[in-house]
């Protein structure tokens, strides 16, 4: 997507052909800066400190981290050491382990002098595959936006509500929930995005608003509490969110607060869609509420807020009284009954066991 008018991915190989470039997302939206990784340690630090975040981008970053490690030393010992270091950065990220395994598979049975080239080739493929999946999601979801546009009066934009950041910054390009928005926008459909602020880490107010703004998509940041009111007053045509995990029965685990928006959508007849690449479906789990553990994150994320001061410094302030307890549940589960449809690279699929198994028979069968 665009930054300062130029097309950019979130991760790339530098012109020298080996160093890895990324957008340093820790400084957004207040500063746009790039980082250059030259060693596996750079990649480990970048993933651990959230210079890069979002499951697909973490996977791509880990793959390139392996490339950097092999460039320094293509031995089996170093391959194993890099695998261990990189997989420890974000232990719960499924894509990370998958990407590391992909690189290992690509180089294991090769002579040492061919390993670096093979690793870079597979890392580039991982990135291109992510882009292709997201474009497919974008096309299928874009059709829904186009259909909504057909029901609007001339000149009125389609209003789409989203939660958190499932945009291109979380992937290599296009994003998942935002891919349909970018494709529809680029295709000339008038639309406007309500971006939930998404406390406590504010990924909506910072990342989603920033990337929509850079790409020129009209949008408005709202507190997480506002979506229900907007839906009650006909100001939301459809909602599209991303997800961290979808169960075999279609329950959706996503950023805390997604469930409340889905309830409001149901109460007001607003379609509620979840966009996802199919690897996000976990066919080994059925009931999201009882089977998906919800991560509790650091209290400081709720107790503090980071932003820029009037004189341009980045400052963190505490907003709760000393001595007050704070709870920070990272995710919630939206039951399948509240989900209008799952937008995947294979099209729109009903959020239910049979439809998911029919759409992905090779994966549903393997999990039985």
Angle value at C-alpha 339, between 336 and 340, nearest 5 degrees: 135
The pattern of x and - marking residues 20 through 59 that bind its own copies according to CB under 8 A reads --------xxx-----------------------------
72 three-state secondary structure: helix
Q: Is 185 in the site for its own copies (CB under 8 A)?
A: no
> Three-state SS string across 116-146, please?
HHHHHHHHHHHHHHHHHHHHHHHHHHHHHHH
Task: Find the part of the chain contacting its own copies (CB under 8 A) among 35-43, 99-107, 212-220, 342-350.
Answer: 212-220
Alpha carbons 294 and 254: distance in angstroms, whole number: 10
Compute how many other C-beta atoms are within 10 angstroms of the C-beta atom of residue 130: 26
Least distance in angstroms from the C-beta of 281 to its own copies: 21
Q: Is 83 in the site for its own copies (CB under 8 A)?
A: no
In angstroms, the Cα distances linking 279 to 78, 173, 360, 364 are 28, 17, 10, 11
Q: Is 325 in the site for its own copies (CB under 8 A)?
A: yes
CA atoms within 13 Å, Cβ hemisphere of 356: 29
- The closest of 65, 94, 96, 60 to 82, measured between CA atoms, is 65
The gap between the terminal CA atoms of the chain, to the nearest Å, is 39
- The closest of 175, 194, 193, 184 to 149, measured between CA atoms, is 184
* Of the candidate residues 12, 37, 64, 259, the single one contacting its own copies (CB under 8 A): 259
Selecting among 244, 251, 282, 332, the annotated active-site residue is 244
Q: Is 187 in the site for its own copies (CB under 8 A)?
A: no
244 is catalytic: yes
* Of the candidate residues 220, 354, 358, 365, the single one contacting its own copies (CB under 8 A): 220
Q: Is 205 in the site for its own copies (CB under 8 A)?
A: yes
- The closest of 127, 84, 121, 95 to 106, measured between CA atoms, is 121
Please, which residue, 214 or 344, has the CB nearer to its own copies?
Answer: 214
Please, which residue, 81 or 263, has the CB nearer to its own copies?
Answer: 263
Q: Is 203 in the site for its own copies (CB under 8 A)?
A: no
Task: Find the part of the chain contacting its own copies (CB under 8 A) among 96-104, 110-118, 196-204, 344-352.
Answer: 196-204
- Are the CB atoms for 207 and 255 separated by under 8 Å? no
- Are the CB atoms for 334 and 342 separated by under 8 Å? no
Q: Is 200 in the site for its own copies (CB under 8 A)?
A: yes
Least distance in angstroms from the C-beta of 101 to its own copies: 32
Least distance in angstroms from the C-beta of 320 to its own copies: 5
Task: Find the part of the chain contacting its own copies (CB under 8 A) among 55-63, 93-101, 276-284, 325-333.
Answer: 325-333
- Which residues of this protein are in contact with its own copies, per CB under 8 A? 28-30, 194-195, 197-200, 202, 205-206, 209-210, 212-213, 218-230, 232-233, 255-257, 259-261, 263-264, 267, 289, 294, 302-310, 315-321, 323-329, 331-333
Active site amino acids: 244
């Amino acid at each position: 997507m665009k930054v300062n008018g130029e097309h950019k991915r979130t991760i790339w190989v530098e012109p020298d052909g080996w160093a890895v470039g990324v957008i340093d997302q820790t400084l957004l939206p207040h500063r746009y800066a790039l980082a250059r990784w030259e060693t596996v340690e750079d990649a480990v630090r970048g993933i651990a400190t959230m210079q890069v975040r979002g499951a697909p981008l973490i996977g791509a970053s880990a793959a390139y981290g392996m490339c950097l490690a092999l460039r320094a030393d293509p031995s089996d010992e170093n391959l194993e050491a890099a695998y261990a270091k990189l997989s420890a950065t974000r232990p719960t990220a499924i894509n990370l382990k998958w990407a590391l395994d992909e690189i290992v598979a690509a180089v294991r049975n090769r002579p040492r002098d061919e390993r670096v080239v093979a690793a870079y080739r597979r890392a580039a493929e991982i990135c291109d595959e992510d882009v292709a999946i997201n474009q497919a999601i974008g096309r299928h979801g874009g059709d829904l936006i186009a259909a909504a546009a057909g029901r609007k009066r001339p000149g009125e934009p389609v209003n789409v509500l989203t939660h958190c950041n499932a945009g291109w910054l979380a992937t290599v390009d296009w994003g998942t929930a935002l891919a349909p928005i970018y494709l529809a926008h680029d295709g000339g459909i008038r639309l406007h995005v309500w971006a939930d602020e998404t406390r406590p880490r504010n990924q909506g107010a910072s990342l989603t608003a920033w990337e929509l703004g850079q790409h020129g998509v009209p949008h408005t940041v709202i507190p997480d509490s506002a979506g229900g009111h907007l839906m009650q007053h006909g100001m939301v045509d459809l909602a599209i969110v991303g997800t961290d995990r979808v169960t075999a029965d279609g329950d959706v685990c996503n950023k805390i607060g997604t469930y409340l928006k889905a309830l409001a959508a149901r109460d007001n007849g607003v379609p509620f869609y979840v966009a996802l690449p199919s690897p996000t479906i976990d066919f080994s789990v059925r009931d999201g509420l009882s089977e998906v553990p919800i991560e509790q994150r650091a209290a400081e994320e709720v107790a503090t807020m980071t932003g820029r001061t009037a004189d341009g410094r980045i400052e963190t302030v505490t907003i709760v009284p000393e001595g007050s307890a704070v709870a920070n549940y990272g995710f919630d589960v939206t039951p399948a009954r509240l989900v209008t449809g799952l937008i995947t690279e294979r099209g729109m699929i009903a959020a239910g066991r049979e439809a998911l198994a029919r759409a992905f028979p090779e994966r549903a069968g393997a999990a039985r």
